[in-house]
Structure 1
Amino acid sequence: MRKGTRKHGRVTTVRKVSESFTMTEMFERFMWFKNSEGLAPRTIEEYQLHFQWLLDYLAQDLSKEQMTLEVFLEWIDFMLNDKGLQPTTVNIRVRTMRAFLRWCYFEKLIGEPVHERFKPMKTAEDTIEALTVAEIKTLLTAFDESTFVGFRDKVMVMVLLDSMVRISELLSMKRSNVDFKTGIIKLEAMNTKTRRAREVPLSTKTMRLLKGYMLESEDFGEDLLFLTYDGREMCSNTWRTRLHEVAEIAGIKKAVRPHIMRHTGALLYIMNGGDPFSLQKILGHSDMSMTRKYIQMTNMDVKRQHNSFSPLKNVFK
């Protein structure tokens, strides 16, 4: 094995690969490995979804020789410039594929560390995509509460905003874990991203709506909280599409996805006087660095907060 083979103006290390598989076969082995790590079902689903999108773009499987840097750079360019995806969305898919390629390299399924040659793009960390209060009101009035699906979807949006959970956590909620006395829903460890159980509080208004929905759906006899109109488990991608369509009908220009509800809820929580430490616990963040971004508000919000909590407020009463 020779080291220091020069390619594209830089030195890379080329290793002898142990076996010859197609990219899809490599990915199947990668997913077996990821499943053995005990990842959350939603995380596994996202890995598979991102890989399928790459295959759709390629319109073919690849051999290990075809898994070159140029292929992945062209794929990134396609997502950004042809599909018009946001850099944050592209970065999620890039991270998934880099993890896959890194595993392939260390397992000696490919000869070059392709994952080291393309990285997520830098994005503005001080901006958070969120809905305004007016947009929230507009969205909530767009659901047809006279139908089961419309009422269910409104309740789901209310729970998303109020509890600030992820969509995977919302769809895995159980009726048996809703406590109306304390106003809390328990999230089981196996259904959270961090694999830690936590409790999320809900306001009285949301709990009242949720109780009405649970009465509507109790005849299904299922412990899962949110179900389809015929009592089956809901598909997250289907509901994402429906939420986006309702938002478009309501005239909201932003791309309304479930995660924007989490961002919106967290931002409003801070703006309404909530402290970052309790927010961190509600969100299920492992450290404060992930929660800190919600404290980075606009100048107008900072000014309003300063007027209320100025250090000199009690000095010159």
Structure 2
Amino acid sequence: MRTEIDNFISYLRGVKKKSENTVISYKRDLYKMAEYFEGMDIRNFSGAVGTNVNSYILYLERKGSAPSTISRNIASMKSFFHYLNQEGKIAREPTDLIKPPKVVKQLPGILSIEEVDLLLSQPSGKSLKDHRDKAMLELLYATGMRVSELINLKVNDVNMQLGYISCHENNGERAVPFGRAAKQALTKYIYNTRSSMVKDQSIDALFVNCSGKPMSRQGFWKLIKHYGEKAGISSDITPHTLRHSFAAHLVANGADLKAVQEMMGHSDISTTQIYANLTNNKIRDVYAKAHPRG
């Protein structure tokens, strides 16, 4: 069963050009499904029927999986069984009649401008690590890029003269501008710091760890958590928090939604619309608290 899953994963990478994060999620979801099916003595996907898939979804619910997690698992299974059907491996798709649970869209958590300033001021020392961390945090907030895009940046992706970064995701590319503060931190890191951290000069990754190897996703998560705690910010901070804050602050200050969509790399503007809704909710809260008849 895992051979079919591995073939599907290769198809996602080679043909569909899915991002590595998406591929990892699909593989994890489908391996767990295969393990459950094997426990039901189903040794081949051609023997799986809708009842088996429903049984697995109920199992996920009993485990306490969130509706968003179940919805993602259903999407993974639907895509996989559709692939098997197209390849002639199964006669019909057992997920045909399966409907994902309704997922309530949560408004993203964002930081205030004051909290962002506090967070970005934490790496203030003169060490190589401080210079690198400052550049990463400033660039993330200046561009709103995804953490996967940040850690996969190459030195040549930075156009310091024109002040923009080339982001690569899903075989696509977009140019995102950055401002004065990010340019200042990047200049110090690239021209004064990076060469001292990189031991192998053939490494073209923009951001490297203390061993001179490309920075990992997990490494950056630990970094931003550390500075959040150091700043005394009580809310949970992830790399995505700065991405959300970037978009929310732009929209709150009157930025055009279409421009924000392009900078964020959203394929659908309805995703970007969330930030406008967030701003509207804040306006309503202010009105309710301040208006004499609110």
Structure 2 unaligned spans of 5+: 288-294
> Contact conserved, 2:131 with 2:193, CA < 8 A, in 1?
no
Is 1:192 matched with 2:169?
Answer: yes
- Whether the aligned pair in 2 keeps the contact of 1:244 and 1:257 (CA below 8 Å) is yes
| Distance of aligned partners of 1:247 and 1:30 in 2 relative to their CA distance in 1, 3 Å threshold | same
What amino acid is the match of 1:232? K
Q: Equivalent of 2:272, from 288, 291, 304?
A: 291
CA distance in 1, matches of 2:161, 2:85: 53
Aligned pairs, how many?
Answer: 272
Q: Share of identical aligned residues, percent? A: 22
Deviation at 1:165, TM superposition (A): 1.1
Kept after mapping to 2: 8 A contact 1:73/1:118: no
How far apart, in 2, do the equivalents of 1:253 and 1:38 lie? 40
Normalization by structure 1: what TM-score? Answer: 0.71
Task: Give the one of 27, 33, 52 matched to 2:28.
Answer: 52
Output the CA distance in 1 between the equivalents of 2:69 and 2:133.
Answer: 24
Question: How much has 1:251 moved relative to structure 2?
Answer: 4.5
Letter of the 2:11 partner, please give it. Answer: F
The more displaced of 172-181 and 142-151 is: 142-151
Selected match of 1:37 from 8, 11, 15 = 15
How much does 1:92 deviate?
A: 4.1
Select which of 215, 220, 243 maps to 2:224.
243
After superposition, what is the alpha-carbon deviation per residue over 1:143-196, rounded to whole angstroms, capped at 9, x for unaligned?
474543444233222211110111222122222231222211123xxx323x33
Q: 1:205-259 CA distances to partner (integer Å, 9 max, x unpaired)?
A: 1110111111201242332211111221222244334434543554544442222
Q: 2:162 aligns with which of 182, 188, 197?
A: 182
Which of these residues, 145, 153, 157, is aligned with residue 165 of structure 1?
145
Matched, 1:206 2:182: yes
SS of the counterpart of 2:263? helix
Instruction: State the partner residue of 1:216.
Output: 193
Q: CA RMSD in A?
A: 3.3
Query: 3-state DSSP class of the match of 1:115?
Result: coil
Indicate yes or no: 2:4 matched with 1:26. Answer: yes
Please name the residue that 1:228 is paired with.
Answer: 209
With over 3 angstroms needed to count, the CA separation of the structure-2 counterparts of 1:100 and 1:130, relative to structure 1, is farther
C-alpha contact 1:54 1:75 (8 A) present in aligned 2 = no
What are the ranges of 5 or more consecutive residues in structure 1 without an aligned counterpart? 1-21, 306-317
Matches within 5 A, 1:34-113: 34-37=12-15, 39-40=17-18, 43-52=19-28, 55=31, 62=38, 63=43, 64=45, 65=47, 68-69=52-53, 70-78=55-63, 80=65, 87-88=67-68, 91-110=71-90, 113=93
The verdict on how the C-alpha distance between 1:118 and 1:142 changes in structure 2, with shifts beyond 3 A counting, is: farther
2:257 to 250, 258, 276: 276
Counterpart residue type for residue 13 of structure 2? N
Check whether the contact 2:164–2:176 (CA below 8 A) recurs between aligned residues: yes
**Cα drift, residue 276 of structure 1:** 1.4
Amino acid at match of 1:121: P
By how many angstroms is 1:33 displaced?
A: 1.4
Change over 3 Å in CA distance of 1:276–1:119 after alignment to 2? same
Corresponding residue number in structure 2 for 1:301: 283
Q: What amino acid does structure 1 have at the position aligned with 2:193?
A: E
Secondary structure in 2 aligned to 1:200? strand
